Homo-oligomer: A and B are copies of this chain.
Amino acid sequence: MLRLWIASLCFLASVVQAQDVAEISGVVREDVELLIQRGLDDDVAYAFVRGLTTNVGPRLAGSEAEARARSWATRELAELGFANIRTEPFMIPYWSRRVDRARIVSPAPQDLVITALGGSTSTPPGGVEAEVIRFETMRELRAASTDVITGKIVFIDEKMTRTQDGSGYGMAVRKRRNCATTTAEKGGVACLIRSVGTQARRFAHTGMMARSAAVGDGPAAALSPPDAEQLTRLLENGPVQVHLDIQVETQAEAPSGNVIAEVVGRERPEEIVLIGCHLDSWDLGTGAVDDGAGCGIVVGAARLILSLDEAPRRTIRVVLYGAEEVGVLGGRAYAERYADEMGQHILAAESDFGADRVWRFETRFGDGALPYARAIQQMLEPLGIAPGPNSAYGGPDISMLPRLGVPVVSPRQSGWDYFDLHHTPDDTFDKIDQDKLNQNVATYAAFTYLAAEMNWDFRKPAE
C-alpha cells in the first residue's frame, strides 16, 4: 500500500514536471508575434510555389528539369537576400517513363488510364498481352499459388483509407512496393495496382516501387480508380485480356543536388536550425502540393526571419533537398556530408505534406527539453494548433537525423485532401490556397525563430 502511494506521488510529480513551460522574454515573444502576423500576410511563399511550378514545372529527380529547378531556386534565394547559397551535388540512378499505356483487348476493347510506377522495368518492345487475374489485397496475392499467376497480369484492387494524418498511405504503399516483386516471383508478366491515393477521379497515381535502385523487379503500373472499377466489373463477367506497354529509360548515374541557403546566426553561427523541403517532384503534375508548397513554406518562413532587424543567435539553414521521391537520396547525401556536424544541428523540420493547415505540433526532444516544446506549442496556439506528442517523425529527408541524435519537430498538416492530388497529373498550382499556406509560414517562422534565438538545448535528458 505504501509502495502504491509512493508510485502515485512520483507519477503526479512527473506530470507536473511535464507541464513546466520554459520562459520566453517579452522581447522575443513580441518578435514571434510579429513573425506570426507577417506570416499570415506573406507573399513570398505563394510566389515561390507559383514560380517553381510555373517557370520550371515538373522536375523529376535526376532530370534536366530538376537541374533547372536548382538554378531557378538559387536565383530566387539570392534575390531574397539569403547567405551562403550553394548547391551540394550528388549522383543518383535515373529512371524515366517513355511510354506507358494499356488497353483492354477483349471482351470490350477500350483504353485504360494508367501510369507506370517509378522503377518499373520495360515490357518487351511493343508490350505484353495477357489475361488479368485480380486480387482484393496484397495479402491475397501473397497467398496465391504460382500456378494461377504464371503468364498473367496481376491486378491488386486494394483501396486506401482517407485519414487526416495520412496513415492510410503507408498501408497502401505496400502494394506499390511489393506487387512487381511478388508477381515476378510467381511467374506473372506484369502488375497493375489500383492507384494509391484517395481521389476517385480518372487520374493514376505514380510513386516509387523499387528500393534503393533505379529499377525494380518487373513492369508495374497504377490504374486510375475508375479504371480499376471498370476492370473489376468486366472480370465479373469472365476473362479479360489486357495489353500493357511500358518503356522506360534508365541511367546508372545522373546529377541531383541539394540547394542550401542560410540566415547566418549573430552569435553562434556554427549552430544550425534546419528547415527543409524537397525540390524534385514526380513528372505527372507540376509538384505543387508535393512539394512546391513545402519549399514555399520554409523559404517564406526563413525570409521573414531574415527581414527582422537582427538575425537570431543561431544559423537558420534552409535545405531544398533533391531526389526525395526516388528514395530520399538528397536526405541521405546531406546526412553523409554533414555526419561530423550533427552535434551542431540544434533542431530539424521538413515540410512535405501539402499546403493545408497545421493542426498539431509534435516534437522529438530529450525528456528534459519538454518545457521548450510546451513553450513553442503555447506560442502556436493562436494559429489553431494543438500540442502533440513527443514522438515526431520529422519528415522524409530528415528521417535519419533523429538516429544521429538530432531533435526534430513535425508541424502536422491536415492530409485529408492531400492524397487526392499527390503524385497525380492534378498536382498543380491552382490547388494551393494562400491562406492555408500562410498559416504554415507563420508556424515555421515562429518555431524556427524560437529555436534559433533561445539558448534552448532540445537534446536535454531528463534530470
Binding site for B on A (CB under 8 A): 50, 53-58, 64-65, 68, 104, 107-111, 113, 200-203, 225-226, 229-230, 233-234, 237, 285-286, 424-426, 428-430
Docked complex Cα distance between A225 and B109 (Å): 29
Determine whether the beta carbon of A54 is less than 8 Å from that of B286: no
Chain B minimum-CB-distance residue to A107: B55
A111 — which chain B residues lie within 8 A by C-beta? Answer: 58
Determine whether the beta carbon of B285 is less than 8 Å from that of A202: yes
Which of B53, B108, B200, B425 has a CB less than 8 Å from the CB of A55?
B108
Residue among A68, A104, A286 with max Cβ neighbours from chain B (10 Å): A286
Determine whether the beta carbon of A429 is less than 8 Å from that of B285: no
A285 — which chain B residues lie within 8 A by C-beta? Answer: 202
Which of B65, B107, B226 has a CB less than 8 Å from the CB of A429?
B226
- Rounded to whole Å, the gap between the CB of A73 and the closest CB of chain B is 14
- Rounded to whole Å, the gap between the CB of A246 and the closest CB of chain B is 17
Known contacts A200-B430, A201-B201, A230 near B286 by CB under 8 Å: yes
Q: A57-B230, A202-B203, A226-B428 are in contact. List 7 more A-B contacts (CB 8 A).
A: A54-B230, A57-B108, A110-B286, A202-B285, A226-B429, A229-B428, A233-B429
Docked complex Cα distance between A107 and B202 (Å): 29
A110 — which chain B residues lie within 8 A by C-beta? Answer: 57-58, 65, 286
Give how many copies assemble into the complex.
Answer: 2
- Rounded to whole Å, the gap between the CB of A245 and the closest CB of chain B is 15
Determine whether the beta carbon of A233 is less than 8 Å from that of B50: yes
Determine whether the beta carbon of A430 is less than 8 Å from that of B226: yes
Chain B minimum-CB-distance residue to A229: B430
Chain B minimum-CB-distance residue to A68: B108
A202 — which chain B residues lie within 8 A by C-beta? Answer: 203, 285, 424-426, 428
